[in-house]
Amino acid sequence: MAGYFEEMGWRELDEGEQPDHLLHMARFLMDFGMYEDNFTGEWPRLPPPAAKEAVKNLNEIVIDNDTTNCPICLKAFNSGDKATKMPCNHVFHPACILTWLDKTNSCPFCRYELPTDNEGYEAFKKEKKRAVQRKEDIDTLHNSMFS
Amino acid sequence: MANIAAKRIKREFKEVMKSEEVAGGAIKLELVDNNWTELQGAIAGPPDTPYEGGTFLLEIKVPETYPFNPPKIRFMTKIWHPNVSSVTGAICLDILKDQWAAALTLRTVLLSIQALLSAAEPNDPQDAVVAKQYRDNLCLFNLTARHWTNVYAGGPSVIADFNQKVQRLLDMGVEEHQARVALSTYDWELERATEQLFS
């Protein structure tokens, strides 16, 4: 069994560190279901742009067969063209994908998500992942007791 | 920027024209102006739905920032569906809003709208009145949707009872569409519809 702090996704305060009152307020509201829509459902807007660092680290490749199109501008690639490859292996013209990632963080083809620089959105993603994990844990516990 | 949008629409137009859906008559796409910024789409009502046999026209406006922003699409043919406004034709579909992705095309969007006709999302309604009927009285909803398909989209099922009720209101001097909306809204109870129209 994980410790209390770990299970909640929290950590203990460091020596001399002050608690973050805004964070407490947010958790308080969440506990009372004030943000139910945001935390059980979807991010209410288009997710934020991809993190600058993640975009910088995308792989550059050179096209060696010209049978495919760039899914954004739909223009066919030519052999020898430079292209950008996302971690999900989808390939785009650099200018096309950079414009898109400047708007939102996911692959236009399969919605694979790059990290963002938006703390609120990263917290939302983490919370969502934790909610799934917690539900699985409860199911496991329930099944081990009643099956 | 506008240039990218126009070039892509041209490529998409060719893709749609070659697609099997166009060949099969499920979707259609036509140019409205010469700048590739406005198009007219058409989808066939899916089989085994109240929309079967109808043809629904859609207005498609392509923004300058396409494909980085979604096209603006609304129904021009009047339709009775929880996720489409029975007044404006506005569509509530996530991929036309915050779930848009640049790799989606007019072809895939038209097919998604067609799929929406087969599987409504009453919990995310565009038209609250229609959604309420869908939840509370699915049988009557299906009849109403079938009637609208018959009247506005060229569908085959004539529902005589509804036509008679509309005619009764026409005889009282009510405009036809207004009469149909009032009757549809009040579950085809002539008395309540009349009361609302003349109050």
Catalytic residues of B: 92
Do both B27 and B96 map to the same domain? yes
Q: In the prediction, which pLDDT does B1 show? A: 43
Cβ distance of B103 and A46 shorter than 8 Å: no
Which residue among B53, B88, B118 closes a domain? B118
pLDDT for res B183: 97
B9 lies in some domain: yes
Min Cα distance A46 → chain B (Å) is: 5
Mean pLDDT, residues B7-18: 89
For A45, the closest chain B residue by CA position comes to B98
From CA B57, how far away is CA B27, in angstroms rounded?
10
* Of B125 and A1, more confident: B125
- Do B105 and B153 have their domain in common? no
Determine whether B192 is exposed, middle or buried from the number of CB atoms within 10 Å of its CB (0-12, 13-18, 19+): middle
Amino acid at B4: I
Among A10-14, A41-45, A118-122, B157-161, the range scoring the smallest mean pLDDT is A41-45
Domain A52-101 sits in CATH 2.30.30.280: no
Whether B92 and B15 share a structural domain: yes
Name the β-bridge partners of A103. none
A100 or A24, higher pLDDT: A100
- For residue B17, what is the domain's CATH number? 3.10.110.10
In chain A, domain spans? 52-101, 118-147
Domain that holds residue B114: 2-118
Burial label, A138 (beta-carbon count in 10 A; 0-12, 13-18, 19+): exposed
Nearest CA in chain A to B10: A74
Distance from the B8 Cα atom to the nearest Cα atom in chain A, whole angstroms: 6
Query: B107 burial class (0-12, 13-18, 19+ CB within 10 angstroms)?
Result: buried
- Chain A residues whose CB is inside 8 A of the B103 CB are 71-72, 108-109
Structural domain tally of chain B? 2
Per-residue pLDDT tens over the stretch B123-179:
889 999 999 999 999 999 999 999 999 999 999 999 999 999 999 999 999 999 999
Question: What residue type is assigned to position A95 of the chain?
Answer: A
Average predicted confidence (pLDDT) for chain A: 84
| Highest mean pLDDT out of A12-21, A137-146, B20-29 | A137-146
> Could you read off the pLDDT of A10-21 as tens digits, one per residue?
777 888 888 888
pLDDT in tens, B37-73: 999 999 999 999 999 999 999 999 999 999 999 999 9
Q: Is residue A126 less than 8 Å (CB to CB) from chain B?
A: no
Is residue B145 situated within a structural domain? Answer: yes
> In this structure, are B139 and B112 located in the same domain?
no
pLDDT band at A39 (very low <50, low <70, confident <90, very high): very low
B83 and B176 in one domain?
no
Let me know the angle formed at the C-alpha of A113 by B72 and B100, rounded to the nearest 5 degrees. 5
The minimum CA-CA distance between B11 and chain A, rounded to whole Å, is 7
Same domain, B111 and B44: yes
Domain assignment present for residue B30? The answer is: yes
* pLDDT (average), residues A62-90: 89
Residues B78 and B32 in one domain: yes
- Shared-domain flag, residues B71 and B167: no
- Interface contact flag, A96 B98, Cβ < 8 Å: no
pLDDT reading at A40 higher than 70: no
| Claim to verify: residue B77 and residue B152 sit in the same structural domain | no
pLDDT of the residue at A31: 66
